Structure 1
Amino acid sequence: MKRTVTITLLVLLLVVGVVVYIYYPRLNLITGFAAKNMCSCVYEAGRDPESVAAQDNNFEPVHLSDFELNREKKAASSTVFGLKERVAVYNEGFGCTLLPQGTNKDDLPPEKPKRVQPPLASPYPYGNEKPLDTVFPEVDYDQLETALKNAFFEEHKTRAVVLLYKGHLLSEEYAPGFDKSTKLLGWSMTKSITSAILGVLQRKGRIAVDEDDLFREWEKDRRAFITLDNLLKMNSGLKWEEDYTRISDVTKMLFLSKDMSEVQLEKSLESDPGVIWNYSSGTSNLLSGFIRDEFATYQEYLDFWYHELIDRIGMYSMTLETDLAGNYVGSSYSWATPRDWAKFGQLYLNRGEWNGEQILTEDWINYTVQPVAGSKGQYGAHFWLNAEGYYPDVPRDLFSANGFQGQHVFVIPSKDLVVVRFGLAEHPEFDLNIFLREIIAAVE
């Protein structure tokens, strides 16, 4: 018996040793992801921590992490076998921020975004009242019900689907534990929010997409020739590695950096601007820094995103999270209900108009959906495209905001349709071509 226990302990130690050897260089990233995600899901979205651990953080290698919550301080911490503890803290109005080593919550800027949210008495989606009970004769509701049922099979890991058709709520479905008031993380859909903010600045005449000499740090080298257009289209020529499976530019930025806007700023050129398309979350955070530089005060930067776009179209549930330097993490961290995400899609379907007000110009919408050379027709100005039929059974005019693990806001102008999907499985594990094809078939 004693020998069996000894052997068992030796095997366990060997297993732990192998795991630590393989993953130790990445433990900061693993525990950083786990702590940040747990903090945001619990304190921003109001989720149960055990469900977050069992679902959102239950994938390799993040599943190795343990967590603790400090309800009094509204903080979450994470370790792997007691090693590399990371802490994320909740800050009212900002969601959660992952603290780099040697920092604390007091290092966050004291300012808060000032939000203006008047009551919106009209029906959803243009207001926040009960949607109109509209029946469309051309819609096959039985077929639509089947399409949504297929999307919610257990293996598809779908959490929410919201459909807007001709400016009306056509249907919505939620997985158990989620409903119309549950905030969900958009991940890289935040990039499209960042693009929209630049569109608002363009409408106001404060920026132009062809402007260069964007940053003082680039004045004396070839980076001065990088244009805002290059950054929006991800073809700046700056070095960047977008690899989430190991220690890379993007993982170091999201889980180690105090100021995420500086990471891409400091990179050198590997090609001339406009030549190579290279998807880069660092570029989106650099754009957040560029937007911040457009304002005389930090408070103006904080408020602009909400006053001129988010609250302007009634996305009252949305929260933009910041890094420790107070920059909105324009690549990755925005939370809102699926209904509010659908409003964002409807704004683009409306060619930038909302309740009679032109939030974005039609020219900006046209610019957004122009394919970037080298992207195989799949990318525009911080939006994804279907210009060359990536989804073969879906109209080519589809464009979308996409996020990690299968978060999507699809806009299909030719069908007058907005499709929002949230989940934990992405294409092709969750086949988006089939999902969209079945929905479109039901409204034709």
Structure 2
Amino acid sequence: MKKIIKLLALVLVLIILYFGFTTYPKLDLISGFSAKSIASGHFLDNRSKELIEKTDNDINLIDLAANTIDEAGKFATSNVYGLKERKAIYREGLGATLINDDFDVSKPYLVPKRTKLENNLSFPYGNNEPTDTVFSNIDYSKLKKAIDNAFDRLGGKSKRTRAVVVLYKNKLIAEKYDINFNKDSRILGWSMTKSITSSAFGVLAKQGKIDINKPAPIAEWQKDERKKITINDLLHMNSGLEWEENYNTICDATKMLFLAADMGKVQLDKPAQFKPNTHWNYSSGTTNLLSLILKRQFKTQQEYLDFWYSALIDKIGMNSMIVEQDMSGTFIGSSYAWATPRDWSKFGLLYLNKGNWNGDQILDESWIKYTSAPTNTSEGRYGAQFWLNAAGKFPDVPRDMFYCNGFQGQMVAIIPSLDMVIVRMGLKEDPAFDFNGFLKGIIGSVKN
């Protein structure tokens, strides 16, 4: 009997040691991810805690978190076995922010001044319902089959598509939503937000207020080799700065998103590993540094907040979009833009039409060419905060396709040669979700 007790005690000790070495260091990140996900999903999209836990948070380790929502206080808290509790607060106009114990929740805060598109036009150029349009060269039964095939049957979890929207020749030709979602559902774009950040630079460049080919205006870099890094290098993800982005472990990216108070400074403080424009390295920290650079272009916080919306987001009627902030008041330009699938498709349409929005040239045509041209260090995979099909990642899709891409398979695909925008929002990414087959099916419904 004593041997059995000793054996059980040993097993218990081993379990505790295993937990201590493998899971305990991740608890801050687990509860941080969970609290932020619960607060954003609930207060921005009215999802229940149970739905968020069952869908958004059903990720290995994240599903260990226990969560609560305080409706009156507008915040969510999460912990793992009572350890490492984290809190995310919701503020109208700003979305949810993951905070630490030093954050003053009583401090007054600024919100962006928003304008709603009121032009009495139908979607996509207005917010009225789309007009019925039938194209003789589209096989609608084939189109429907391709889209239906992207969704699970009731109860399935192999494809996990939440929404598909297809625009052709500036018209909505198809859309579909999974159960619990509809045309008014805000869905997180994750790294598709990077393309929004890039576009903000495009607007400033068009206004002649910034030169992306000049060294990045960062005072902290002026006494070392980083002073040679240009905004262009940052936009192309080839600055040469140290960065690790691996969401399967504790890395620079996860520590930034779930621990940092000032996310832009995380990449700013990193040393140079290589000379600029010699090594491509995907970095969410770089995009948040770009957001911080944008912030420093304005005299006041209010001007910075307003610019993203007045110059771009609200200008093309993406009125559902909310870009969330870190604790320092900087937009998390790498990851946290929420919008309806229809509004995500409007963003794609802006790029499809070479920066022109219903007669208003918001971005120079040259900016569209710039963002969709391969950076020399990415082997044809990446432009300026946009992904590319130039190297044929999707073999059955035109090589001129460029696209916004986000964690768990968010995509806004822009295909100039077909005059088409395809949006897919979901919880499975390539290769678990067959994006090549999905895009091929939709494209195949259009007869040349």
* Amino acid corresponding to residue 301 of structure 2 in structure 1: Y
User: 1:430 maps to which residue?
Assistant: 433
After superposing the two structures, state which structure 1 stretch, 305-314 or 115-124, moved more. Answer: 115-124
Pairwise CA distance, 1:117: 1.4
Pairwise CA distance, 1:102: 3.1
User: 1:439 maps to which residue?
Assistant: 442
> Aligned equivalents of 2:428 and 2:402: distance in 1?
20
> Aligned equivalents of 2:359 and 2:394: distance in 1?
33
> Aligned equivalents of 1:69 and 1:10: distance in 2?
39
Indicate the SS of the match to 1:25.
helix
Counterpart among 181, 195, 198 of residue 198 in structure 2: 195
* Amino acid corresponding to residue 256 of structure 1 in structure 2: L
User: 1:115 maps to which residue?
Assistant: 114
User: 1:223 maps to which residue?
Assistant: 226
> Aligned equivalents of 2:209 and 2:307: distance in 1?
13
User: 1:304 maps to which residue?
Assistant: 307
> Aligned equivalents of 2:211 and 2:22: distance in 1?
47
* Amino acid corresponding to residue 407 of structure 1 in structure 2: Q
* Amino acid corresponding to residue 350 of structure 2 in structure 1: L
Contact kept? 2:216, 2:231, Cα under 8 Å: no
> Aligned equivalents of 2:8 and 2:144: distance in 1?
52
* Amino acid corresponding to residue 111 of structure 2 in structure 1: K
* Amino acid corresponding to residue 62 of structure 2 in structure 1: V
Contact kept? 2:117, 2:319, Cα under 8 Å: no
> Aligned equivalents of 1:443 and 1:97: distance in 2?
43
* Amino acid corresponding to residue 240 of structure 2 in structure 1: G
1:99 aligns with 2:99: yes
Contact kept? 1:120, 1:314, Cα under 8 Å: no
Pairwise CA distance, 1:150: 0.7
User: 2:27 maps to which residue?
Assistant: 27
User: 2:124 maps to which residue?
Assistant: 125
1:237 aligns with 2:236: no
Once the two structures are superposed, what CA deviation does each residue of 1:352-408 show, in whole Å capped at 9, x if it has no partner? 000110000000000001101231211000000000101001000000000000000
Q: Mapping of 1:377-396 within 5 angstroms?
A: 377-396=380-399
Pairwise CA distance, 1:11: 7.7
TM-score, L = length of structure 1? 0.96
1:209 aligns with 2:212: yes
* Amino acid corresponding to residue 152 of structure 1 in structure 2: F
Counterpart among 359, 362, 377 of residue 365 in structure 2: 362
Residues 1:263 and 1:132: Cα distance change in structure 2 (over 3 Å): same
Pairwise CA distance, 1:20: 4.6
Q: Mapping of 1:243-262 within 5 angstroms?
A: 243-262=246-265
Indicate the SS of the match to 1:124.
coil
Contact kept? 2:191, 2:334, Cα under 8 Å: yes
> Aligned equivalents of 2:287 and 2:105: distance in 1?
24
Contact kept? 1:100, 1:257, Cα under 8 Å: no
Contact kept? 2:401, 2:414, Cα under 8 Å: yes
User: 1:405 maps to which residue?
Assistant: 408
Q: Mapping of 1:116-155 within 5 angstroms?
A: 116-153=115-152, 154=156, 155=158
User: 1:325 maps to which residue?
Assistant: 328
Counterpart among 312, 316, 322 of residue 313 in structure 1: 316
Counterpart among 270, 277, 296 of residue 274 in structure 1: 277
Contact kept? 1:233, 1:382, Cα under 8 Å: yes
> Aligned equivalents of 2:424 and 2:14: distance in 1?
42
> Aligned equivalents of 1:132 and 1:200: distance in 2?
30
Pairwise CA distance, 1:208: 1.3
> Aligned equivalents of 2:270 and 2:104: distance in 1?
27
Residues 1:12 and 1:440: Cα distance change in structure 2 (over 3 Å): farther
Computed over aligned residues only, the root mean square deviation of the Cα atoms, in angstroms, reads 1.9
User: 1:289 maps to which residue?
Assistant: 292
* Amino acid corresponding to residue 317 of structure 1 in structure 2: S
> Aligned equivalents of 2:375 and 2:104: distance in 1?
41
What percent of counterpart residues are identical? 51
List runs of 5+ in structure 2 lacking aligned partners.
none
Pairwise CA distance, 1:106: 3.2
1:45 aligns with 2:45: yes
> Aligned equivalents of 1:192 and 1:433: distance in 2?
21
Contact kept? 1:409, 1:421, Cα under 8 Å: yes
> Aligned equivalents of 1:252 and 1:63: distance in 2?
19
Once the two structures are superposed, what CA deviation does each residue of 1:263-307 show, in whole Å capped at 9, x if it has no partner? 111111000000000000000000001101111111000000000
> Aligned equivalents of 1:193 and 1:239: distance in 2?
24
Pairwise CA distance, 1:61: 1.3
Once the two structures are superposed, what CA deviation does each residue of 1:172-228 show, in whole Å capped at 9, x if it has no partner? 000000000000000000000000000000000001121115200011111111001
Counterpart among 173, 193, 199 of residue 176 in structure 2: 173
After superposing the two structures, state which structure 1 stretch, 212-221 or 424-433, moved more. Answer: 212-221
User: 2:340 maps to which residue?
Assistant: 337
Pairwise CA distance, 1:14: 7.0
* Amino acid corresponding to residue 272 of structure 2 in structure 1: L
> Aligned equivalents of 1:101 and 1:57: distance in 2?
24
Indicate the SS of the match to 2:55.
helix
Contact kept? 2:200, 2:312, Cα under 8 Å: yes
> Aligned equivalents of 2:238 and 2:71: distance in 1?
44
Contact kept? 2:277, 2:377, Cα under 8 Å: no
* Amino acid corresponding to residue 221 of structure 1 in structure 2: D
> Aligned equivalents of 1:335 and 1:77: distance in 2?
21
Contact kept? 2:349, 2:421, Cα under 8 Å: yes
User: 1:81 maps to which residue?
Assistant: 81
